Amino acid sequence: MFHGLNNGSPIFGGKLDVMKPDLLRGIAVFTEVARLKSVSRAAAALEMPKSTVSRRVSMLEAEVGLRLLKRTTKKIELTDEGQAYFAQCQQILEAVENAHEGLLGSRVEASGHLRVAMTPDFALRLVKTLPEFRARHPKMLLEFDFTARSVDPLTEHCDIAIHIGQLVDSGLTAYKLTDVVSQLYAAPSYLAGRGAIATPHELSEHACIVARPHTGEALATWDLRRGRERLLVKVESGLVLNSIGVIQRLAIAGAGIALLPEDLCREEVAAGRLALVLKGWRATALPIHALTATRFLPARTRVFLDYLRDALGSI
């Protein structure tokens, strides 16, 4: 039933029917502590008192007869035995979760309050498909926090946080949604009479609209690639913004050249409101992840993650 596990392991003692009632709970708690390397963060993720988390881990260590964690005042590390046990426990929990979902998935309806943090620009990708999702899940209450800052679902009042860009090691569970590729665009009215732009180096001679969310500097570096070619182009602008949506509107109005996501510009190009500049040159793709405090998710969170993958995969 549990592929890749040794039936003689201390978890099962060779038979499924000898598993003690609290053993699976202990495994789940230990796995969360091992993943987050913190009793406090595991307690928050599991919504349990720290004392209960510590006690369950101690009981599990007594059950298997081995020390699983090395505890200090500053951090928690896995022992060699704990690392091997952690790998097996992850497989067990995934198998149990899959079996449980297989039985209940057809009759458990997603409901309740779901809080999602994302940038307003990311939300633009969901405008067309969100009404259909709401129609399929009328018992869900969706609350969106539109913010440009990074949100931590572990410490903030949030179930899902959308992160654009490279991830850092945070102890959060990350679900890859898609990649964003950006290209250079400008309004035909801006390009008229200026002649074709042949190389990225010529961008310094043009008005550029720069996205710089964390500083007030006008000088930015655009990392552009074409096949194996790569150029770091410094551009200067009198327009510095932290909203892709506003940058796009300024580009449409003829304010200059902007580096914008392809998926947000297809309709504008088809309608003639924007034109592609330096065809073939693209910015380095940025990954988009959905972050959660734990991988043990209620139905409402799982269905919304599935919706995000489908919505982003169709654009």
> For residues 34 and 70, is the Cβ–Cβ distance under 8 A?
no
The residues facing 226 across adjacent strands are 229
Predicted local confidence at residue 133, as pLDDT = 94
- Residue 183 burial (CB < 10 Å; 0-12/13-18/19+)? buried
CA distances 198 to 193, 204, 236, 279, Å, are 15, 12, 19, 9
The pLDDT profile of the chain, 315 residues, written as one tens digit per residue, is: 333 333 334 444 444 444 565 788 888 899 888 888 888 888 888 888 989 988 999 888 888 888 898 877 677 888 888 888 888 888 888 777 767 665 555 456 788 899 999 988 888 889 889 999 999 999 999 999 998 888 888 778 889 999 988 887 777 888 999 998 999 999 999 999 777 788 998 888 888 888 865 444 456 788 899 988 998 888 877 777 878 889 999 999 999 999 999 988 999 999 999 999 999 999 988 899 999 988 778 888 999 999 999 888 755
Is pTM, for the whole model, over 0.85?
A: no
Predicted local confidence at residue 141, as pLDDT = 92
Predicted local confidence at residue 16, as pLDDT = 40
- The encoded tokens of residue 11 equal 């978890």
Question: How far, in whole angstroms, is CA 56 from its chain's centroid?
Answer: 30
